[in-house]
Amino acid sequence: MPLKIKSLSDLQKFPIINKEIYFNLNKKKSVKIDKNIYLIKAMANIDGEEALFPLSLNDYQNYIDFEKRKFELAGVKKSDLCSVVEFSQNSTIVQAQSILALGASYVPLDGDEAKIFQDIVRYKVSVIFTIPPVVYRLMEYVKVRKLKTSLRLIITTGVKIPDVNKLNLETKDVLGAELIDTIGATELASFAFSCKKHRNFYHFIDQKQIVEIIDPVTKQPANEGEIVITPLWKVDFPLIRYGTDIFTKLDKHLKCDCSVKNKTFFSGVEKRLTQATRIQRYLVDLKDFYYQVKDSLIWQNFFDKRLWFFIEKPILTILITRIKNVDTVLVFIDKAKFRSTMRRRQPIEESIFKMTNSDTRIILCNKKIIEKMSPSYQDIRDISKKYLPKEIKDLLSLC
């Protein structure tokens, strides 16, 4: 391994580090709070654990600077009044500071969603940074009440938008605002944004990061492969060749006049490389997820161990679906057994919330309908209704 990295080929002598390795490394190192550091939290894993990533004051300022470039490239101007809508503190603090660093104005909005939407109109907010489900709900809110917003730009992140071009036409029509999508990760900040001309394609941020597209099999640079990033803004806690798990394709023929220096086009998140399923903003292995939910159903009372010795356990099936553009977990449980064995809904809801933070519905029903499902857990979000098998349609008709 070279001690000094002077070229891309030096860099490429380093192995690609994936999320799991990075998380485990961070878990082992206990964070010392005797230095001037900012702790960022990453998405929770299946066990509800959140990894902590320390940033030195210097790296924190670099982080702000990096995010500032994102807002600049997305088109935020000094005359804008911006707000970060419905994010955790984790993102809100950094994003708000980046907006201020750019010279634009910022207004914090809180309260429930209706109040936030009202305030966006009332304060004449011109730019919001948020997640796609909020955009759909905001459009609905404005449409129903026949309101006019002062929004001119919406920047999204966190959830894949199937067709950015189409959503941009809708936000222009309903809200009067252009939509720019971004891609990022807590460990890397926002590393890409969608092009204004070819809206379903993305550009990489042109500062302080080295981007490689690596074939997952040969581990060599390629036109299609995993996005691997070395964030150069991380100086004190460096990260070298971080595999994002995102599979993408480069496009070498498109042209545009975005102000980004490096005009590489790529097709966004084509797919995730690991088996993990993304529910809301959380990554879960669907099989693990199913078994954890099952455990939360089976092991609720101190007498359960003895109980299952005499009685057959209640069966369940899980569907991951999308209701009003929000990922929703539907849990169907054998009604008779649920009642006769004194099960409660709360432990199940809690376990799901811990893993995904998503909307959950528990539906008690006839055992016969559940029995037909195989496997017992399915992600039906991207399947058109008419192609769903009969047993799934039967289950959905109960909701």
The residues that touch Zn ion, with contacts defined as CB under 5 A, are: 195, 256, 258
Of 154 and 195, which has the nearer Cβ to Zn ion? 195
CB 165 → Zn ion: shortest distance, Å?
Answer: 13
DSSP 166: H
CB 265 → Zn ion: shortest distance, Å?
Answer: 7
Of 37 and 73, which has the nearer Cβ to Zn ion? 73
CB 185 → Zn ion: shortest distance, Å?
Answer: 22
Q: How far apart are CA 88 and CA 93, in angstroms?
A: 9
CB 205 → Zn ion: shortest distance, Å?
Answer: 13
Q: Are 299 and 288 in contact (CB under 8 A)?
A: no
Q: Where are the alpha helices (DSSP H) in 80-158?
A: 89-102, 113-122, 132-145
Class of residue 222 by CB neighbours under 10 A (exposed 0-12, middle 13-18, buried 19+): middle
CB 2 → Zn ion: shortest distance, Å?
Answer: 35
Of 117 and 265, which has the nearer Cβ to Zn ion? 265
Largest CA distance in the chain: 71
When computed from its CA atoms, the radius of gyration of the chain, rounded to whole angstroms, is: 23
Of 128 and 195, which has the nearer Cβ to Zn ion? 195
Q: Are 91 and 155 in contact (CB under 8 A)?
A: no
Of 39 and 256, which has the nearer Cβ to Zn ion? 256
CB 70 → Zn ion: shortest distance, Å?
Answer: 14
Residue 258: left (phi > 0), alpha (psi -120 to 50), or beta?
A: beta
Q: Where are any strands of DSSP class E within the chain?
A: 37-44, 50-56, 81-84, 105-106, 127-130, 153-156, 178-185, 189-194, 202-204, 209-214, 224-231, 242-251, 265-266, 271-272, 277-279, 282-284, 316-323, 326-334, 359-365, 377-379
CB 196 → Zn ion: shortest distance, Å?
Answer: 6
For residue 277, what are its two tokens?
Answer: 């399923």
Q: How far apart are CA 322 and CA 304, in angstroms?
A: 33
Of 8 and 256, which has the nearer Cβ to Zn ion? 256
Of 134 and 258, which has the nearer Cβ to Zn ion? 258
